[in-house]
Amino acid sequence: MEHYNMNLTLKVWRQKNSSVRGSFETHKVSNISSEMSFLEMFDVLNEQLIEEGKEPIAFDHDCREGICGMCSMYINGRPHGPWYGTTTCQLHMRAFKDGDTIVVEPWRANAFPVLKDLMVDRAAFDRIIQAGGFVSVNTGNAQDGNNIPIEKEKADQAFAAAACIGCGACVAACKNSSAMLFVSAKVSHLALLPQGAPEKKTRVLNMIAQMDKEGFGACTNTGACEAVCPKEISLDNIARLNKEYLNAAAVSDK
Amino acid sequence: MLDSKIPAGPLEQKWNDYKGHVKLVNPANKRKLEVIIVGTGLAGASAAASLGELGYRVKAYCFQDSPRRAHSIAAQGGINAAKNYQNDGDSVFRLFYDTVKGGDYRAREANVHRLAEVSVNIIDQCVAQGVPFAREYGGLLNNRSFGGTQVKRTFYAAGQTGQQLLIGAYQALERQVALGNVTMYTRHEMLDVVIIDGKARGIICRNLVTGELERHFGHTVLLCTGGYGNVFYLSTNAMGSNVTAAWKAHKKGAYFGNPCFTQIHPTCIPVTGDHQSKLTLMSESLRNDGRIWVPKKKDDNRKANDIPEDERDYYLERRYPAFGNLVPRDVASRAAKERCDAGYGVGTTKQAVYLDFKYNLINKYGRTEAGKQGIENPDMETLIRLGKEVVKEEYGNLFDMYEKITGENPYEVPMRIYPAVHYTMGGLWVDYELMTSVKGLYALGECNFSDHGANRLGASALMQGLADGYFVIPYTLGNYLADEIATRPIPTSHEAFEEAEKAVSNRINQLMSIKGRQSVESLHKRLGRIMWEKCGMARNEQGLKEAIEEIRALKKEFWSDVRIPGEINEMNPELDKANRVADFIELGELMCMDALNRAESCGGHFREESQTEDGEALRHDDQFMYVSAWEYKGESDWQLNKEELNYEVIKPTQRNYK
């Protein structure tokens, strides 16, 4: 692969903390190698800012392998940037060319308040899991793993749903800031498996109730979430969630 | 001095006997006891969930925004368990034996046997939680095979096994949060451990959002804070992975075990330039089908595909005809370094070798497929097309990841790979109960030194983390806490908390007041370079002595010239990083001292002075059959304590791969 260097203009959201208003700040970076990752380009910018005696830009990141779900930049109007099925940390500078202007914002959703610059608080996702995103089995109670045979197709579907990394791109992409793709991925993962069956009904009702309580919006099936999901979680999961919800709500006496 | 508390009796009965006689805490008393757990990876999350279920009042801490982000999530390959579902002769004893041998006979027999015993329970527990392991068409669990073993005992979930196991433990943890048994503190970093009357009684941590220092009391403190590979700056660890919690414990009296034992993984995507922030692993399984080579000519700038067959040096096949490309990790890594150092490296930086799939793609998969489909005398084009389809099914996601990072299509051109720091076998010294040399202070998972000796086998890190958290600590912790039921919670206004917080606060103030010229990142990079050059894949006496001097000088430079922007009482990631790098610098010095002391080669630790005629690692069991447990005495001052290793069941031998 031929590589090249480029000069770029960055318009980055700066915000001191959650209680003040933020604004865009423009910075120039030069000699950015096409081999760098997007976050490494930010590392260069931050070193430059420190050198100039300014505060570096705060952003969430950790594994830089596309699996921890921590990175969360809204790049040129798209969560995680232009590449399909890719997290910000796996986006590389080959995606851009010399002279480009790149606009970088945090996730924007009421349920994800900005903590600083590009960092947001996604604790709402943890609370949704607390509401029912688990199988109630204590350590030590398990029977032999092979006593529960699972149809391969079902197991594969459950795995595909469980691949969700909880990054919140689905919420950031949705015009209503709905968390339906995230919630449906967990509901589907556990509903597809026999282990999840006993709590099937309470799980879906409780998780949806918590989602509403957190201030996420409603789903209107535009599919923007699926289009930006770095793990390609399918919209089919939302259909399954709706079915599970109807089944549970119809017989619920709560 | 060092009492490893290994129970008496035959090896295979030790753990059962222990469990049968260990002290218990009744349910009413458990509710009065507070347990602090730092870190929420596989070890921490599983421990927090299990102890919460038992009724202890648990407080768990992580520096990430959610416990689900911990770096256990990035493990690809799988988790070992002695289930023998494949009927291929596996057993608890074989898993135990492979692990001890893989560790080049520097691990404790009793711990490793316990690990092998509980491995089977881990799989059952994870299945019950709904972890979507790979399955056969009959609906039963599937296995794959991994390095250093002759059986198929590795359970997996595609290339995301760590993620699925961590999410399982995370869900169990969040369930306990919902039930009120666990209180979760995210974006919190532990900056000191509080010791009162010789026992660990709490921690000081920094709220990373507000910058405030907080005091937290616990009857006991569990460190589940992972490994310290980031001392090398570049590693496959997450950016935030650090040694700080373990290092603070070390400075408060916990011995550090075998700090120099580092695993360097041979197949990672190479460094492309100075901007590089981390390295990405390509699973060990790729070496099954890839052939490793470099050009025979020095500084050959031709493209890989333009170099004819007879001008390629398949150096692993040349040097190790019996094992070829499937030699163990440490051997493969050293051989790649040797070729690159000699000037045969490839790519822009010349610090890479080729991992080439073409031969097996055509000959192994292409021809097999052609045979299956009844195509006689297939031409090259057909073979390549058929082979690609199979390779895509086997390794598709890894090939995609490689292409995203490098921009090259590994189906067309060979992958470029180079070794990278991946795991640290060393860690806080713990006894059989996972307690450090400080009473009431425990270390679980990669944070401790205990089970992998001088080299860890693939798919064993996940096994150890979950074994410690789900199945070991719930028993061993009770043995300590049973004597603590009368201890009332100590108010955090106690002078020990006061002093510890003061010390942390002073250090932060000192760091912020330096206002020097160099960024934390640039100093960390320089530490990494020293460590990689002189305490990396190959070490020698002179280099290590130089490294110690260089690190001491770097430490002075750090403390007089580091520049940290921002304020103390706010979110300040640069300050957090500075706190971590300051500790890495001190650890680096100890690692070099340990490597200098251990004048033998074993597993991942290769001392150039100690090799066989053929350049292989040479152990000296007569002098070094011990665990180095370093005791902190003061600045740049450590005392070496030795825990002798007694092999009662296995007889140590020399490894050979020719």
B113 touching chain A per CB within 8 A: no
A106 and A134, same domain (yes or no): no
Evaluate whether B147 touches B458 at the Cβ level (below 8 Å): yes
Q: Which residues sit opposite B418 in a β-bridge?
A: B268
Choose the mutation target among A67, A92, A115, A139 for the interface with B, i.e. most B CBs under 10 Å: A139
Q: Which of A93, A116, A139 is the last residue of a domain?
A: A116
A65 within 8 A of B74, measured Cβ to Cβ? yes
A143 vs B123: CA distance, rounded Å: 10
Question: Do A232 and A136 sit in the same domain of this protein?
Answer: yes
Between B125, B240, B401, which is nearest A62 by CB?
A: B240
- Identify whether residues B412 and B524 lie together within a single domain: no
Q: What is the pLDDT of residue B393?
A: 65
Q: Taking residues B626-649, what's their average pLDDT?
A: 97
Measured distance CA(B548)–CA(B556) in Å, rounded: 13
Q: What is the pLDDT of residue B388?
A: 86
CA distance linking residue B219 with residue B480, whole number of Å: 10
Tell me the chain A residues in contact with residue B56 when contact means C-beta distances shorter than 8 Å: none
Q: Does A134 touch chain B (CB under 8 A)?
A: yes
Q: State whether B275 and B398 are in the same domain.
A: yes
Nearest to A90 by CA among A26, A169, A5, A15: A169
CA of A40 to nearest chain B CA: how many angstroms apart?
6
- Residue A233, exposed/middle/buried by CB under 10 A (0-12, 13-18, 19+)? buried
Q: Same domain for A78 and A34?
A: yes
* CATH at residue A12: 3.10.20.30
Work out the minimum CA distance from A135 to partner chain B, whole angstroms: 5
B546 and B411 fall within a common domain = no
Whole-angstrom distance, CA of residue B261 vs CA of residue B465: 18
* Cβ B316 vs Cβ B264: under 8 Å: no
Residue of A68, A83, A138 lying closest to B74 (CB–CB): A68
Same-domain status, B280 and B398: yes
**What phi, psi does B433 have (nearest 5°)?**
-90, 5
Cβ distance of A130 and B177 shorter than 8 Å: yes
**Nearest residue to B79 via CA among B152, B140, B169:** B152
Give me the phi and psi of B147, to 5 degrees please: -60, 150
Q: What pLDDT, on a 0 to 100 scale, did the predictor assign at position B302? A: 93
B9 in A contact zone (CB under 8 Å): no
Number of neighbours of residue A213 by Cβ within 10 angstroms: 13
Nearest Cα residue in chain A from B521: A47
Q: Which DSSP category does B11 fall into?
A: G
Instruction: Scan residues 519-578 of B and list those with Cβ closer than 8 Å to A.
Output: 519, 521-522, 563, 565-566, 570-571, 573-574
What's the gap in Å between the CA of A132 and the closest CA on chain B? Answer: 7
Same domain, B274 and B413: yes
Q: Over the stretch B502-532, which tens digit does the pLDDT of each residue have? A: 999 999 999 999 999 999 999 999 999 999 9
Checking if the pLDDT of A1 tops 80, the result is no
In this prediction, residues B68-82 reach a mean pLDDT of: 94
Given an 8 Å threshold on Cβ–Cβ distance, is A35 in contact with B272?
yes
Do A185 and A112 lie in one domain? The reply is: no
Residue B390's pLDDT is 76
* Residue span of the structural domain in which A171 resides: 123-251
Neighbour count for residue B179 (Cβ, 10 Å): 12
- Say if residues B102 and B77 touch (Cβ distance below 8 Å): no
Helix and strand numbers (H, E) in chain A are 8, 7
Sort out which chain B residues have CB atoms less than 8 A from A31's CB and list them. Answer: none
pLDDT band at A101 (very low <50, low <70, confident <90, very high): very high
Q: What pLDDT does A254 receive?
A: 62
What 8-state DSSP symbol labels residue B602? Answer: B
**Structural contact between residues B102 and B457, judged by C-beta atoms closer than 8 angstroms:** yes
Longest dimension (CA), chain B: 84
Chain A residues closer than 8 Å to B132 by CB = 155, 158-159, 162, 189, 193
- Partners of B170 on chain A (C-beta within 8 Å) are 129
Confidence of residue B155 (pLDDT cuts 50, 70, 90): very high
Alpha-carbon Rg for chain B in angstroms: 25
Contact A130 B141 (CB under 8 A): no
- Plot region of B220 (φ>0 → left; ψ -120 to 50 → alpha; else → beta): beta
**Two structure tokens written together for B639:** 């005392």
Question: How would you class B434 by CB atoms within 10 Å of its CB: exposed for 0-12, middle for 13-18, buried for 19 or more?
Answer: buried
Distance from the A14 Cα atom to the nearest Cα atom in chain B, whole angstroms: 13
Regarding whether A106 and A147 lie in a shared domain, the answer is no
A151 shares its domain with A228: yes
Q: Which residues of B144-178 are buried (b: 16+ CB within 10 A; e: fewer)?
A: ebbbbbebbbbbbbbbbbbbbbbbbbbbbbbbbbb
A157, A186: one domain: yes
- pLDDT, one tens digit per residue, over B371-395 is 989 998 999 899 989 988 877 766 7
Cross-chain residue pair A35–B157, CB shorter than 8 Å: no
- Residue in chain B closest to A41 (alpha carbons) equals B275
Same-domain check for residues A106 and A131: no
As given in the structure block, the two tokens for residue B649 are: 């069941």
Which domain CATH number covers A245?
Answer: 1.10.1060.10
Which pLDDT score is estimated for B49?
98
CA dihedral B59, B463, A125, B51 (to 10 degrees): -30
Which residue range is the domain that position B538 belongs to?
514-632
Indicate whether B414 and B528 sit together in one domain: no
Residue B131 lies in a domain: no
Distance CA B362, CA B378 (A): 11
Nearest to residue B187, comparing CAs of B210, B169, B171?
B210
- What is the distance in angstroms between the CA of the first residue and the CA of the last residue of chain B? 42
Could you give the count of Cα atoms lying within 13 Å of B567 in the half-sphere of its Cβ? 9
For A209, the token pair is: 């109730």
What CA–CA distance (Å, rounded) separates B594 from B581?
20
A149 interfacial to chain B (CB closer than 8 Å): yes
- Any idea which of A178-187, B81-90, B281-290, B528-537 has the lowest mean pLDDT? B281-290
Contact B275 A125 (CB under 8 A): no
B124, A54: Cβ pair inside 8 Å? Answer: no
Are B519 and B406 within one domain? Answer: no
Instruction: Kindly determine whether residue B172 and residue A119, on different chains, have CB atoms separated by under 8 Å.
Output: no
Residues B410 and B283 in one domain: yes
pLDDT given for residue B394 in this prediction:
67
Same domain, B269 and B416: yes
Same domain, A112 and A134: no
β-strands B441-443, B220-223 pairing = parallel
- B408: domain CATH number is 3.90.700.10
Supply the CATH number for residue B543's domain.
1.20.58.100
Report which residue type is found at B194: V
Compare CB distances from B141 to A119, A145, A196 and report the shortest one's residue: A145
**Residue of A61, A115, A144 lying closest to B124 (CB–CB):** A144
Indicate if A137 and A48 belong to the same structural domain: no
Beta pairing class for B220-223 and B34-38: parallel
On whether any CB of chain A is under 8 Å from the CB of B180, the answer is no
**pLDDT at residue number B151:** 87
Q: Show which of A116, A145, A176 is a domain's final residue.
A: A116
The neighbouring-strand residues paired with B135 are: B141
Is residue B259 a part of any domain in this protein?
A: no
Of B214-228, B246-260, B344-358, B457-471, which range is least confident?
B344-358
- The H or E element that residue B196 is part of is strand B188-196
Reduced to 3 states (helix: H, G, I; strand: E, B; else coil), residue B392 is helix
Residue B445's pLDDT band (cuts 50, 70, 90): very high
Q: What is the pLDDT of residue B150?
A: 79
Flag whether B619 is in a domain: yes
Whether the predicted pLDDT of B622 surpasses 90: yes
Q: Report the predicted TM-score, pTM, of the whole model to 2 decimal places.
A: 0.96
Q: What pLDDT, on the 0 to 100 scale, is given for residue B614?
A: 80
Segment B144-148 shows an average pLDDT of 74
Which of B390, B406, B421 marks a domain boundary?
A: B421
Number of helices followed by number of strands (H, E) in chain B: 19, 21
Over its C-alpha atoms, chain A yields an Rg (Å, rounded) of 21
Tokens of B194: 């509080």
Pair B556, B585: CB distance under 8 Å: no
State the distance between the two ends of chain A, measured CA to CA, in whole angstroms: 60
Q: Which residues of B touch A65 (CB under 8 A)?
A: 74, 236, 278, 280-281, 401
Measured between CA atoms, how close is A54 to chain B, in angstroms?
7
pLDDT confidence tier of residue B331, bands split at 50, 70 and 90: confident
pLDDT score recorded for residue B372: 87
For the stretch A149-181, pLDDT in tens is 999 999 999 999 999 999 999 999 999 999 999
Residues 50-69 of chain B whose Cβ lies under 8 A from any Cβ of chain A: 50, 53, 64-69
Strands B256-257 and B626-634: antiparallel
Overall number of domains in chain A:
2
A92 touches chain B (CB under 8 A): yes
- Report yes or no: B170 at the A interface, CB cutoff 8 Å: yes
B274 with B416, same domain? yes
Cβ atoms of B81 and B471 within 8 Å: the answer is no
Residue B88 lies in a domain: no
- Which residue in B139, B238, B519 is closest to A149 by CB distance? B139
Nearest CA among A128, A151, A149 for reference residue A203: A128
Same domain (yes/no): A239, A130: yes
The one-letter amino acid at B44: G
* Sign for the pseudo-dihedral over CA of B551, B554, B560, B563: negative
Both A174 and A224 in one domain: the answer is yes
Lowest mean pLDDT among B404-408, B625-629, B642-646: B404-408
**How many C-beta atoms lie closer than 10 Å to residue B444's C-beta?**
31
Under a CB-based contact definition with an 8 Å cutoff, are residues B330 and B603 in contact? Answer: yes
Domain boundary among A83, A116, A149: A116
**Chain A, chain B: beta-carbon pairs less than 8 Å apart:** 219
Mean pLDDT computed over B31-35: 98
Beta-bridged to residue B256, according to DSSP, are: B428, B630
Task: Give the count of domains, chain B.
Answer: 2
User: Would the pLDDT of B575 be above 60?
Assistant: yes
Segment 419-458 of chain B within 8 Å of chain A by CB? none
What pLDDT sits at residue B396?
67
Question: In this structure, what DSSP letter does residue B135 have?
Answer: B
